[in-house]
Amino acid sequence: SFHLENKSRSHIRIVPEVVCPMFMEVSILTLAKENSRVFTSLVASFEYAICCRILSSWIEQGLIDDYEVPKTVSKELDNGEFDFDDGLLAFFDDLIAAIEQRDERRWRKISKRKKEVYSFLESKCETKRQEFTILIDSIDDSWDGTDEAVLFLRALMHACVELNANSRAARPYLFLRENMFDRVRETETEFARLETWVESLEWSNPSLLAMIEKRLNRPLNTKLPIDGTTWNHFFEKIEDEPSWKKVFSFCQTKPRDVLAYSEFAIELAQHRNNTRVKIEDLQEARRRFADNRLKDLADEYSENFPRLDYILNLFFGLGDKYTINGLVSLIAKIVADPKVGHLCPWFFDFATPERFAELLYRIGFAGLLNEGKLMSRSMGSSGSKVPEVTSSTLVCVHETFSLALGLQELVIDRLEDEFSLKQTGIITDVPGGVSFDEYVRSLDEAKHKLELVQPGDDHCEDFEEVVGEILKLCFFRWLGNPEPKCRNHSGRVIRDWLTSNIARGGFWEAMRQRYNALSVLWECKNYEKLAPSDFLQTAGYLTPELGGLGIIAFRGDRSEKKHYFEHIQRASHQKQGNCIILLVNDQDLKTFVRQSIQGRYTDNHIRAIYDEVVRHIS
């Protein structure tokens, strides 16, 4: 709308404060069902109000003299001025009164007032200056989501179509949010006619990038090129690719979301005194952005689907892909939830897998995978057209909401009868398929064993076993398939653990992108003082195939001797900065266990360890 304002000198911005009359003796919906003239009158009222508003601007800007306006038309203006909302309601009230009194002659007489204003405008529209662009914006400011409001919005859309098709003086543009547009789609019987006049305001990657780069450039005296150079100046690359590609994809190419994500990452970088936005900043911003985006999605469609947040939260901790059978199992458990009937009665209209899949697609929560092709909703009017849902369709939750809900990378084909949905806390599908109580008990036992194991070669295998249990219990979301490896070294049997980095966000994915850490090596040293050979040994295992992240678990204080960090620095330099070694001790392992017991699946502590090492070796 700002673009059109700058483009045209002849424009009017209208922000309707009245989307629907609040005080009527009889419901407008009841009247509309009894008499089709009610909707026709509503459309005519919007056309009338727009035409009168243009005529008022003509007089104000001197495009027409007062004396030229016929008396029958000038009566509609108050000293040449016209208030859109008041004029709309006054005209509509007159028409409704005639309908309620069943006075056909009066209704036709009032309707002619609109035709007289319209005909006068068209007869006097002789120059380009008199052709006005009408920008009808911020409808959602007064939108209450009721069926009456939808009826008014339908009428406004029809009025805009009529004027665009037939008028030279008026070219109205109506700006709508997607959720409001979808409400009209559901109720409008002549939607095909409206849809031919709809344009989608879609953002391409270049336009999004230019928007961000202009903002980054604004405070600079010497401007950087708006071609990706500005972004790369402020943001670190990911896997030798500009990081904006991943940011835009994660934000579903929505401008407000891109701004929010970028702002979160910049704030983190500033807080850490980074001169650039690093991979770690971007990864940590993903979690904050994902949580906010999930809340925004529920808020955005709350008028269409009240308490949508409750339904979406029932996905917590499940898989990120669903077969049709999987949706049937999930729907059965949602329907069985007694709170759903009270909070979300609308859900029962979507209690079939096809309808539920369509709903998830339309709101942008999930895409549909058919024959190897993933189709996700794009922005705009055409985006809510749902692809065909067949028995072979996979419903794939978008990675933004997958991260926010802690979904696992699994295909759900069936949920067992005894399985219960969770909204908060730890998921029930923990490693080994144990119950939640068993899981907590296993964590307590691992912590107790750690306290009992004494440092020294005699108990090295016990320590290695405890570290392995903690890996399986505390890091199963990010590090999969813990594999023990045995080998002879200096006459001793030493076991380390090798885990696959399966993280889809946060610290661990940043490590994969920065150090190619497809796997994470854990070395177990059951003694308090580390030797230079320990660091040399660990660095030797960090090959390009394995990755550049190694973690040494030992029994002492990692900050006891500064030369620990010197050895890490030396190893990093030898690998041209492509490797890093972290140190964790008993207190760190206990922290991992405590956070898991509390259900806090966070990588903040391991990230703090990494930041400490980087500060010392930089």
> What percent of the chain clears pLDDT 90, i.e. is strictly above it?
38
Token pair for residue 554? 């030992």
Q: Which pLDDT value is given to residue 151?
A: 87
Q: What phi and psi, each to the nearest 5 degrees, are found at residue 584?
A: -130, 140
HEC profile of 46-115: HHHHHHHHHHHHHHHCCCCCHHHCCHHHHCCCECCECCHHHHHHHHHHHHHHHHHCCCHHHHHHHHHHHH
**CB-based contact 547:516 (threshold 8 Å):** yes
Question: Over the stretch 213-253, which tens digit does the pLDDT of each residue have?
Answer: 999 999 999 999 999 999 999 999 988 899 999 999 899 88
Residue 186 identity (one-letter amino acid): E
**CB-based contact 579:552 (threshold 8 Å):** no
Q: Distance between alpha carbon 414 and the CA centroid of its chain, in Å? A: 27
Question: Over the stretch 411-465, which tens digit does the pLDDT of each residue have?
Answer: 999 888 778 787 643 333 455 555 656 777 888 899 999 999 999 988 888 999 9
Q: Which pLDDT value is given to residue 428?
A: 38
Run of H or E including 154: helix 147-166
What is the rounded CA–CA span in Å between residue 292 and residue 404?
9
**CB-based contact 250:505 (threshold 8 Å):** no
What is the rounded CA–CA span in Å between residue 155 and residue 19?
10
Token pair for residue 410? 């699994």
Residue spans of beta strands (DSSP E) within 80-217: 132-136, 170-174
Question: For the chain, how are helix, strand and coil distributed in percent, rounded to 5?
Answer: 55, 15, 35
Contacts of residue 402, defined as CB under 8 A and 6 or more positions apart, other chains included, come to 320, 504
Question: Over the stretch 353-402, which tens digit does the pLDDT of each residue have?
Answer: 999 999 999 888 999 998 888 888 765 544 556 888 888 899 999 999 99
HEC profile of 358-370: HHHHHCCCEEEEE
Q: What phi and psi, each to the nearest 5 degrees, are found at residue 381?
A: -65, -35
What is the rounded CA–CA span in Å between residue 561 and residue 616?
12
Contacts of residue 163, defined as CB under 8 A and 6 or more positions apart, other chains included, come to 47, 50, 51, 170, 171, 172
CATH of 436-617, one of 3.40.50, 3.40.91, 3.40.1130, 3.90.550: 3.40.91
pTM of the predicted structure, to 2 decimals: 0.65
Token pair for residue 101? 């009194």
- Is the model's pLDDT at 108 over the cut of 60? yes
Q: Which pLDDT value is given to residue 482?
A: 84
Run of H or E including 520: strand 519-524
Question: Over the stretch 32-57, which tens digit does the pLDDT of each residue have?
Answer: 777 888 899 999 999 999 999 999 88
Contacts of residue 601, defined as CB under 8 A and 6 or more positions apart, other chains included, come to 406, 426, 477, 595
